Chains A and B, each alone.
Chain A
Amino acid sequence: AQSVTQLGSHVSVSEGALVLLRCNYSSSVPPYLFWYVQYPNQGLQLLLKYTTGATLVKGINGFEAEFKKSETSFHLTKPSAHMSDAAEYFCAVSNLNVGNEKLTFGTGTRLTIIP
């Protein structure tokens, strides 16, 4: 079984400030971890993913995330927020490495950027 917990359903940061979106996972096998972004009335776009190897993963739009096995976390960060970052962000886990490709998503974090 696998699950994802996203702490904070709403996060507000000032433009230019650090963005930190929290994600903790539960998985019975080593997980694959993902962050997706969703703009209003749109589908999901992959920001970044961790499968194996380097635990610090860089994605699109200046985002990065670090896989910390000891903390079962995969928090998303961006050093300087931009107005265009306002969206809903979803953390997800899969067990693709053992043939289970379905994604299990968290409930999402809505990011608001304050001008």
Chain B
Amino acid sequence: DTGVSQNPRHKITKRGQNVTFRCDPISEHNRLYWYRQTLGQGPEFLTYFQNEAQLEKSRLLSDRFSAERPKGSFSTLEIQRTEQGDSAMYLCASSLRQGPNSEAFFGQGTRLTVV
């Protein structure tokens, strides 16, 4: 399967610990997006990359959050000093920019629980 892959699928961590998630986009997709989805809500945009450049960051992305895409392929999302409010599903998506025909393909997400 060559879809968007996210690891780990589940992460339980203690408050105050750092966590890192990985996203492997579909091969050759140059755009990569991170969204956060809390229980009962729709996904909320966090940030996106075109190749290795981070083009936009949401105000939701506090100083404790950092995302990278060092070689324009996979991406990591790190949360430092986790808080209980960070508990959510973190979704990654990728797309190959083709204007109106562009479609974002989503991974299965990483569910973070902060205890």
- Residues in chain A near residue B48, CB distance under 8 A: 101-102
- Residues in chain B near residue A41, CB distance under 8 A: 108-109, 111
Q: Which of A11-19, A42-50, A60-68, A74-82 contacts B (4 or more CB under 8 A)?
A: A42-50
The total of chain A residues at the interface (CB under 8 A) is: 25
Interface presence of A31 (CB below 8 A): no
- Residues in chain A near residue B104, CB distance under 8 A: 46, 103
- Residues in chain B near residue A43, CB distance under 8 A: 4, 91, 93, 106-109
Contact A108 B41 (CB under 8 A): yes
- Chain A binding surface SS class: strand
Contact A106 B56 (CB under 8 A): no
**Nearest chain A residue, comparing its CB with the CB of B33:** A102
Contact A96 B41 (CB under 8 A): no
Q: Which of A89-114 contact B (CB under 8 A)?
A: 90, 92, 96-97, 101-108
Interface string of B21-33 (1 = CB under 8 A from A): 0000000000101
Contact B42 A106 (CB under 8 A): yes
Q: Report the Cα distance A41→B42, complex, angstroms.
A: 14
Interface presence of B85 (CB below 8 A): no
- Residues in chain A near residue B103, CB distance under 8 A: 46, 49
**Nearest chain A residue, comparing its CB with the CB of B50:** A101
Q: Report the Cα distance A44→B40, complex, angstroms.
A: 15
- Residues in chain B near residue A44, CB distance under 8 A: 43, 91, 93, 106
Would A90 and B100 be within 8 Å (CB), given that A42-B108, A45-B106, A101-B31 are in contact? Answer: no
Contact A101 B102 (CB under 8 A): yes
Q: Report the Cα distance A102→B48, complex, angstroms.
A: 8
Q: Distance in Å from the Cβ of A23 to the closest Cβ of chain B?
A: 11
Q: Distance in Å from the Cβ of B71 to the closest Cβ of chain A?
A: 21
B positions within 8 Å CB-CB of A: 4, 31, 33, 35, 40-45, 48, 56, 58, 91, 93, 95, 97, 99-109, 111
